[in-house]
Amino acid sequence: MGIVTGMVAGMNQVSIQTLAIVVIASWSTFFSFLILKGLEKWIDLRVTSVEEVQGLDTVLHEETGYSDL
């Protein structure tokens, strides 16, 4: 009887922890999305496709990362 009771209590704890993982992952995703959308209003979070083709080393840092290419 003690083993069964312990297993039931253990499964209850596992289900609580699983729920906590899902809640925290959802919370983090939601607020990260809100923060990034807010930042996007003031600064560009992505480079343009032209800048990407030119190379980010050249565009952002005015340097060449790989001179032999």
Q: How confident is the model at residue 23 (pLDDT cuts 50, 70, 90)?
A: very high
pLDDT in tens, 24-65: 999 999 999 999 999 999 988 888 888 878 777 787 777 777
CA distance 45 to 52: 13
- Range 7-24 average pLDDT: 87
Contacts of residue 59, defined as CB under 8 A and 6 or more positions apart, other chains included, come to 47, 51
Number of residues written out for the chain = 69
Instruction: Give the pTM.
Output: 0.58
| Domain extents in the chain | 2-61
Task: Flag whether pLDDT at 5 surpasses 70.
Answer: no
Higher pLDDT, 2 or 32: 32
